[in-house]
Chain A
């Protein structure tokens, strides 16, 4: 059975801090790893990673995949209160389903 584990489960930081969120996976025929940000209800897409070692970047967020270690990290620099959310990691195999981790609840205090 496919499995995705995220750590930490929750994190509290101050504005301006840098955070690193972790995701590890055991997925049959792994094809892609996705990061989503969830505020209120709808997960919003952040990144999709398919190749090891290639960093994807969007503003203050960046992510990289390590297929050897079966893991990924999501970095957020210079955090803002608007970054407070649940960050979900999900993996897709050769099929179409996404298997999600439980998420990391990030709270950024002013």
Chain B
């Protein structure tokens, strides 16, 4: 049973380009969380999704950022018109959906560098 798969592992974008980060949850997991981590800082919650639904996006910047988790395929975090401040590690986590008692399984992250 493969773990949470994120790709690409490293992504370099020029300012103004779009970045697409993909996350395939563990088999059987229907809940996906996206976090951002800056150097020397903790994991900051961005968005919580279930299949075809955004449950909570209170941590997402209001502009340029969007996320989806379609019925088929991976969850996508999309950043439009990237700026240098978007450079960070982006982690995806999944859980089975029995909330309040389940640990989150994390992917290895995508390290976005904006040049």
Q: Do A and B come from one complex?
A: no
Q: Which residues of A contact B (CB under 8 A)?
A: none
Chain B positions within 8 Å of A, measured between CB atoms, are none
